[in-house]
Amino acid sequence: MEVLLITGSTIDEGRLAKGGDKFTDDYTMECASCWISPADFVSLCSPAKVKVTSRDGKHSIVVYSKCTDSVQPGQVFMPRAIWSNVVIDPDTLSTGSPLYKGAPVNVEPSGEEVLSAEDVVLKVYIGGQ
């Protein structure tokens, strides 16, 4: 399903990040998540986890799914953290800031594991995947 990705801070993401808790299970549960509208969640067969893939198909990450009325159909929200940064296009279009709001991505159900922040660094960035 192609949707628009919106990223931003959440209260708990900020509390955990500023408190030095980026390597905790609480941080992973808060930030390694994709918020999906009820209609889109049902269309995806109510998955526990989803794979979010950049429009060009080069980058993807598996995160927990969260069904919520906080987003509109055709859009998803991910807290701005290492997981969402995997699929955000680094091109700034001469603005100095990547497209954190409205980036086209594909979302599909997944049975793969959700990586910890440490594993994202080791497997995605250092491993070059």
Determine the structural domain holding residue 46 and report its residue range.
2-125
| Total count of domains within the chain | 1
Report the residue count for the chain. Answer: 129
Q: What is the rounded distance in angstroms from the CA atom of residue 96 to the CA atom of residue 114?
A: 30
Question: Can you give the CATH number for the domain in which 105 is found?
Answer: 2.40.40.20
Q: Per residue in 53-106, pLDDT tens?
A: 998 999 999 999 999 999 999 999 999 888 999 998 776 566 666 667 878 999
Query: What is the pLDDT of the chain when averaged over all its residues?
Result: 88
Instruction: Quote the pTM value.
Output: 0.88
Q: How far is CA 46 from CA 23, 26, 54, 85, in A?
A: 28, 22, 21, 24
Three-class secondary structure of residue 65 per DSSP: strand
pLDDT of residue 13: 74
pLDDT of residue 16: 72
pLDDT of residue 37: 98
Residue 129 above 60 pLDDT? Answer: no
